[in-house]
Amino acid sequence: MMNKAKGPVWHKKQKDLGIIPKGLRGVDKKATWCKSNADGWVYGHGSFSLTSHKHPVLGCFLWMRNAANEAKRMWLETYHLKGKVDYLAMDSKADDADLFREFKRQRRMNMITYCRPNMNKTPTRRKMIKFMQKPKHKKIYRERSFRVEPMQGLVKEIFELDRCWMRGNENNR
């Protein structure tokens, strides 16, 4: 989930070149661009939550530099849950056969995600897609929309995270 940065938007081309347009004041130099299916392109900071699937309970809510790295950050944050969690339902940003394999191998967790079409070129990838196509796993992914997503929205509303309160990575943790 992306949270809009405080201050004006710094366009990507100018940011990549390190050019702050004349008259642009109060820009958050540490914010990044990320595309969200719900909000489109957002200039800001990312966050993610671990939520129980059976009973909607928030496990943790963490700040991160950019929501595009959410799946890999989830990998780091779940080491202590080995043996306690059977399934992880993640959005399409987690569509990664290596990540799927490592969650299963090292964490003993089954990652459920949306698989991009026409991306079944390797045996590992085909195995992952076959796993995702099972009715039980499709059901878990569908339930994500009304079990997991509302929890993120609730946290965002309670803590007024539509827009970051401060500028910079260090201040928005």
Does the structure show a pLDDT above 70 at 64? no
More confident call, 30 vs 63: 30
More confident call, 8 vs 57: 8
pTM: 0.69
123-155 in b/e form (b: 16+ CB < 10 A) is: eebeebbeebeeeebeebbeebeebbbebbeeb
Strands 110-112 and 87-89: parallel
Distance of alpha carbon 101 from alpha carbon 11, whole angstroms: 37
Distance of CA 1 to the CA centre of its chain: 6
